[in-house]
Chain A
Amino acid sequence: MLRRSLIAFSIALVAVDATLAKKETAIPPAAAKQKQLALVRVNVTGQSYDYFRPWQKKAPFSKRALGAVLSKGRVLVTADLVGNQNYVELERAESGEKTAANVQVIDYEANLALLEPTEKAFLDGITPLEITPDTVVGDRLAAWQLEPTGALIATEGLVTTVQMMPYPIEVGQFLTYRVSIPMQYRENSYTVPLVKNNKLAGLLLRYDSRSQLLDAIPAPIITHFLKEAESQNYRGFPSAGFSFFPTRDPELRQFAAEKGKGGGVYVTNVEPGTPAMKAGLQVGDIVTGVGNNEIDQNGNYVDRLYGKIEFTNLLTAHAYAGDVVPFRIERNGKPMQLNVTLEHRDAKDYVSPPYNLDQPPRYFVLGGLIFQELSRQYLKEWGPNWQREAPQRLVYMDHFQSELFPQRTRRVVILSQVLPANSTIGYDDLAYLTVKKVNGKEITSLDQLAEAVKQPVEGGFIKIETEEDPKQIELDAAQVAAEAPALQENYGISSLQRLQ
């Protein structure tokens, strides 16, 4: 049941091809001067939380990767690499010298993280990479990796597309370079830097060895991340909080009182509490422009570098949380302007949080009944095909959460499994039930559940009502309490609850 998504993003080196060297391109002619390479090895030991036994962590994993050395003694890696880490170590490529490192800033959604060596002088002598933000389709980029000796391996590829794509965490979409490049599997690594003219153009996001296509986190996203990382309070990439649909269909255009062949997208949903809602955007509005950019019927604007690309790029790559972005809209055929103050939506601001890394899962054990809060991180415990393999009712609730739980501030508490014990005899087969009430009180978070169980109903029973069959479960409160130490001992449960 282990999720091994990581494999998908791990990568690979490629031997330098003799012919490659002849081409005059992105590969630095200075490859021989290894000492100056702005690459360090990054060794990570980490442990994921075990959502099926939420009181414990899984067995440790280790990953070896590369980091791109940036100015001010910082090392850029992907968040994938250092998520759930216990210990991070930097290693000089040429000398093998090592030091511990701290994660300074991490953005799981954009899949980027900054490391900082504990030993300040560790990166001395390395000329940091500058960042080049102007990569366009047709450019050649070199993927930099290291031989065991510390020598550079560079593989060259062609940027074939620049488009908006989901990142591993799948919260929104971000600008992505797609590069056609023949890489082979090698021992390390996450985080392969892509370089143009000795400057950092992107960072490996994922690689498909069959099609030899590599997706890269592009420089504009990296720059955005770095810029915000310099402020005291890292908030993350902003969003507006509405969904939209193309207006290509003439009947839909007429319905929305759109005349002529103008552009714009049809607003299909505005989520409560989001910047779009606060700015007054409504379902049925046509968004025709963002900032100074016109939006066409498919939702694209014309980017200076890339040509047509989806307008959400204007909100993620170009804007920051807190920015006020003017939206030009048409409502019932009348043009209007709305000023949307963008915000970052934290994972905790979802009913079913899309990810939860570096933080332990919350749970509550009651006489062998294990209660948890629904989250995508929990569902991902079913592995890469979790959307088909996890309990379908829970996947449904996660997927349609904004529709099913418009109030947005709640959690869905589930009875995730039952550990057989005396107090839970006859309940052994129950699993994946959503909890409605406990002792008569509505339950919209684990904290409420923890409070509610303290007040048993008449007769000293704890009564749990579930959305699904069997609809009601009763426990003897005194028996549960008396049995707790034995339960902990039997199943090796270090603590019966974690609510923080």
Chain B
Amino acid sequence: MKRLVVIVYVGFLLAPFLHAQDSTPAPPPVEPQIPGQQPGPSRSSPPGQAVVPVPVPVAPPKPNGPVQKSLVRITATAVEPDYRAPWNAGGLQRGVGAGFVISGNRILTNAHVVANSRYLTVERDGDPNKYPATVQFIANDCDLAVITVPAPDFVKNMIPLKFGGIPALESTVSAYGYPIGGERMSVTTGIVSRVDFQLYSHSSIDQHLAIQISAQINPGNSGGPVMQDAKVVGVAFQGYSGDVAQGVAYMIPTPVIKRFLQDISNGHYDEYPDLAITYAKLQNPAQRRFLGLKDDDRGVLVSSVVAAGPSDGVLRQGDVLLAIDGHPIASDANVEVEGERAQFEEVVERKFKGDSVKFDILRDKQPMTVTIKLYKPWPYSVQGHSYDVRPRYVLYGGLLFQPLNLDTLEAYRLSDLRLRHFFEYFILDQIYLQHPDVIVLSNILPDPINTYLAPYRGGIVDEVNGKKIRTLGELADAFAQAPERLVIRMIGDGPPLVLDRNKVEAARERIKTRYNVAKEQNLQERPEAAESKQANKT
């Protein structure tokens, strides 16, 4: 399920648009690094919703057996892409998180522990060795990953953990991990406080079931098991920083974990599908009568259907959803699944790409049954964080063009009203249909050929020489096939940006040298699979 609208900025007026490098030099290998801690709540605080929990970590005593025989400590060296100098490799970061051995000699951990990693090592209790590891599957949408250790003797004496179900409210659970980067296992206990849908802050766009527990969880607990009766009932993954709320931590419950493990059983991770609709509760009696509904507390109203999603052409605005796969949908959008009341999307949550979901609906007062074949609609990725990608950009005449997404928005701290609108309403206003890439002139590397162009910064490219530009690739093509004069129109009523191709060509090497630009464009987020994970050699 997707969060509706992401609103990010905490409020920066003028973003430091200067060509400041964010990339940090490789930090000295000092140990107490924040383990696998990813986008903290400071990065995105949606309105209304308090603050996004920060990923945190966990450790325990004996009622759960010899957990240290299953627990591992993961040290990840990651390269964070530098969206402000996208031709650079980015800054090095190092973090520590936890993981645990599961069946098949695999190690389960959080995606945010290993995302963007270039080198991974794993340690275990009572063994002085650091074992290099590789990421086998990563699910950034539900913050889970499976890593493996090639060394054959690593799994010797390790005991794979088994999974339990959803623990009862108020029952006691224990969290295991390496909080604050310590080297010895730590255990904390707490009770199950709440079971509900939560925003997963790793992607900042996905919402899934999560369990709130009162155990102390801190950076370094991330990826560690939370146990009850010698079974894993969750993976510790996020919480609030102490000044927001205390004793509130979250774990990924086993339905989400089991779904992930099932998804990857065919050799690749397909991500969560999504209905890509918005709906409204049907609690108003007059509205119910208008729609021809009985007074039976059933049904929700379809408000929007995203054209890029699987419901397009099947559902439409004004339909009333009465049941999903036979489960009656209450007027507050809940269904009963396995004895638990949950939002009806929970039914979709448990499905996979290519699966179908059946709705009983009321359309124009006529009952109907429709079937939706599920997949993941692409536009949502723009509103969430991306990992293990190379930022896309085009540099032309010192002008840096980048697609608008959550990562660029945060990197530049963009607060421009128009850019914010294009970001927030990218899906709801179906902006992606006209602008699959919202291409922003994000920065200008000063050079004599662009001396007077500073006022254009922050503009959104609409067309080049009369041709609408929909994607970054089209922009790159327009530049590659430029006639003598390029006239770039931005959205809005500003002046055209005019470039002389010959002058731009003459300045190319000069700009590349002056600003140490290795490559003038990158149009692919994911390079060929082969070259990406080379770093892991022993």
Which A residues form the contact surface with B (CB < 8 A)?
Answer: 243, 245-246, 248-252, 254-255, 266, 268-269, 283, 387-388, 392-393, 395-396, 399-400, 402-403, 423-427, 459, 461, 463, 468-476, 479
Q: Which residues of B contact A479 (CB under 8 A)?
A: 286
For the complex, is B111 an interface residue (Cβ under 8 Å from A)? no
From B282, B303, B318, B451, contact of A469 by CB (8 A): B303
Residue of A nearest to B451 (CB): A249
CA distance A388 to B415 in the complex (A): 9
Q: What class of interface size applies to chain B in its complex with A?
A: 35 or more
Q: Are A254 and B498 in contact, CB atoms less than 8 angstroms apart?
A: yes
The one of B282, B451, B487, B492 that contacts A255, using a Cβ cutoff of 8 Å: B487
Closest to A270 in B: B493
- Can you show 11 pairs from A to B with CB atoms below 8 A apart? A245-B494, A249-B453, A251-B485, A266-B495, A392-B7, A396-B421, A400-B492, A425-B285, A426-B284, A470-B303, A476-B285
Instruction: Decide: A243 and B493 in contact? CB cutoff 8 A.
Output: yes
State the majority secondary structure of interface residues on A.
mixed
Q: Cβ of B378: which chain A residues have Cβ within 8 Å of it?
A: none
Bound-state Cα–Cα, A387 to B13, Å: 11
B477 to chain A, nearest CB (A): 21
Instruction: Confirm or deny: B499 has a beta carbon within 8 angstroms of a beta carbon on chain A.
Output: yes
Q: Does B494 contact A472, Cβ atoms closer than 8 Å?
A: no
Query: Which are the 6 A-B pairs with shortest beta-carbon distances?
Result: A426-B283, A470-B280, A249-B452, A269-B493, A426-B284, A476-B286
Q: B428–A468 contact, CB under 8 A?
A: yes
Q: Find out whether the CB atom of A251 lies under 8 angstroms from the CB atom of B498.
A: yes
Decide yes or no: A425 and B283 within 8 Å by CB, A392-B7, A403-B492 being known contacts. Answer: yes
In the bound complex, CA of A393 to CA of B11 (Å): 16
Determine the residue in chain A with the shortest Cβ distance to B4. A469
Given contacts A392-B421, A459-B289, A463-B290, contact A248 B452 (CB under 8 A): yes
With A and B bound together, what is the CA distance between A471 and B284 in angstroms?
Answer: 15
The reply on B405 being an interface residue by CB < 8 A is no
**Chain B residues proximal to chain A, CB less than 8 Å:** 7, 11, 278, 280-287, 289-291, 301, 303-304, 317-318, 415, 417-418, 420-421, 424-425, 428, 451-453, 455, 485, 487, 492-496, 498-500
Known: A251-B500, A425-B285, A469-B304. A396 touches B417 (CB 8 A): yes
A392 CA / B418 CA spacing, docked (Å): 10
Using Cβ atoms and an 8 Å threshold, which residues of chain B touch A396? 417-418, 420-421
Q: Is the CB of B494 within 8 A of A268?
A: yes
Q: How far is the CA of A461 from the CA of B289 in the complex (A)?
A: 9
Chain A residue contacts of B11, Cβ below 8 A: 388
Known: A471-B280, A476-B289. 19 other contacts (CB 8 A): A251-B499, A252-B498, A254-B500, A255-B487, A393-B421, A396-B417, A399-B417, A403-B493, A424-B284, A426-B284, A427-B284, A459-B290, A469-B303, A470-B301, A472-B287, A472-B301, A472-B318, A474-B290, A474-B291
In the complex the two chains form, is A245's CB within 8 Å of B495's CB?
Answer: yes
Contact yes or no, B284 A474, CB < 8 A = yes
Cα distance, A246 to B286, chains bound together (Å):
58
Q: Could you tell me the distance between the alpha carbons of A246 and B495 in the complex, rounded to whole angstroms?
A: 9
Q: Is the CB of B280 within 8 A of A469?
A: yes
Q: A255–B496 contact, CB under 8 A?
A: yes
Chain B: which residue is nearest A399 at the CB level?
A: B417
Q: Is the CB of B485 within 8 A of A255?
A: yes
Chain A residue numbers with a CB within 8 Å of B420 are 392, 396
